[in-house]
Amino acid sequence: MKFYARQIAEVLNGHVDGNPDAEVTTLSKIEEGKPGSISFLANKAYTNYIYDTRADIVVVNEDFVPEKPIHTTLIRVKDAYSAFTALLEMYQQAKAQQPGISENASIAETATLGKNVYIGDFVVIGAHTSIGDNCRIYAHTVVGANCSVGEHTTLFAGVNIYDESVIGSRCILHAGVVVGSDGFGFAPQDDKTYKKIPQIGNVIIEDDVEIGANTTLDRATLGSTIIRKGVKLDNLIQIAHNVEIGENTVIAAQSGISGSTKIGKNCVIAGQVGIVGHLKIVDGTTITAQSGVTKSPKKPGMMIGGSPAFDHIDFQKSSVHFKRLNELVNRVNQLERQLKSMEEQE
């Protein structure tokens, strides 16, 4: 698909500095620019590449002043980074236009499909499940019975959605995501064995949520595990039964949230964080990487870290002493020996 500089400038609310009929078919990094591609310059550290790039079009800030001759067409915009992000979204949407239903898909007679959907090879859609308009469901994905998927949602290859799950609109679930698998519930018995506790709840994912590859969300024991609108989950995250994650919270890879913990709005949870069950993480909390959270933060907007986690500033101060712990122990031992020697001389 071809795009012309004048078309792109119109979409980005910018103006062309150069050839308005310059055409591109793909995108590239400015340092790897090639003919037929469009790139962008937002970081001054990459300015030197603009003089040699082979990209036919480069998006720049409107106040960019070249210090040497430039051979490419410029599109000047207010914010080059934001404009190029919008361009990436347009490009991705254009690539994704594959309406149609594969003959190899298995769709229950009682399932309902919206308009302009794409259903790939070997997709399975269960009984009484509804798929919204403009959804894209890629190969080998399974959507169980009595589920609903909102409009403009994308399920990439190999996603597994168990029965009774609810997925909102404009969501993106990447390859290998599992929604609605059983929560980890087992009752210890007198003979030291464990009896499985039935998990009969479901998972609700609200609108505009993105979930990374191979992340798992367990169904509730009773009620619902809930992911509120705007949440962004990275790859390889475990969300246990009856967890609730508040609006616009982001969680990085390899973190795990134990059962029945409630996470507030606008929280930031870094990679490899572990949170024990039944806590309440208040709005705006930031948790630093590899922290182990065992108590609920008391004040909204706190930054905590460490294991067990506590106030991040205090943790940073303590970490200075952690590094010197062996030295401090040796000094204490030396002082004790000196004190003992002085006592013996008295």
Residue 52 contacts residue 30 (beta carbons within 8 Å): no
Active site (annotated) includes residue 241: yes
Q: Which of 57, 65, 50 is nearest to 21 (CA)?
A: 57
In sequence order, what are the residues at sequence separation of 6 or more whose Cβ sits closer than 8 angstroms to the Cβ of residue 85? none
Parallel/antiparallel/unpaired status of strands 244-245 and 310-311? unpaired
d(CA 256, CA 236): 9
- Please tell me what DSSP assigns to residue 131: E
Nearest to 55 by CA among 38, 73, 80, 68: 38
- The one-letter code for the residue type at 205 is I
Burial grade of 334 (CB within 10 A; 0-12, 13-18, 19 or more):
exposed
Task: Determine which one of 128, 241, 278, 321 is catalytic.
Answer: 241
Q: Which of 48, 72, 78, 87 is nearest to 60 (CA)?
A: 78
Quote the distance between the C-alpha of residue 144 and its chain's center.
24
Decide: helix, strand or coil at residue 106. strand
DSSP line for 199-266? ---EEEE-TT-EE-TT-EEEPPSSSEEEE-TT-EE-SS-EE-TT-EE-TT-EE-TT-EE-TT-EE-TT
As annotated, the active-site residues are 241
